[in-house]
Amino acid sequence: MDYEDRYVDPLMEEPYASRLQGALRFHDRESAEASLQKLDAIYREYRDASDRVGTTLVRSLVLKGRQRAGSLAANSRVRPEKRREKQEIANWFRVWLETSDLFFDWLELRKQSEEFQRLFSDHRGRPETPPPAREG
């Protein structure tokens, strides 16, 4: 029986493991975008080399990201603004899985959209900035 757990990364053998280990990050929108850029570049390399194992592993990592972000977005113990952000990130992962070739064009349009600006801008109309790191 094949068991899928959204919190467990797929088993990977070398050379995939060292290349993909830690590639999935989505602490915030910026890290999610950087992660998708890295995973997309690796995915294209594998696709161009007709490496089905590699492309399948990359897609499975992005799927795990979508599942995990969606789970956090649905968790009532998570702060509302973080839930909103995780839902947005889950949507990014979904769009990449559906149309990876168009994803980054879509993302630029999405970030310019009225809805995105309303959801992720401060009250003065500027994009939200993370709070300063606390020392100590």
pLDDT digit string, tens, across residues 100-113: 999 999 999 999 99
pLDDT tens figures, 86-102: 999 999 999 999 999 99
Average pLDDT estimate for 34-60: 97
Q: How distant, in Å, are the alpha carbons of 76, 81, 114 from that of 34?
A: 27, 21, 23
Which residue, 28, 30, 104, is CA-closest to 72? 28
pTM of the complete model: 0.81
d(CA 58, CA 44): 10
CA 112, 36, 93: angle at the middle one, nearest 5? 75
Which residue, 11, 29, 33, is CA-closest to 20? 11
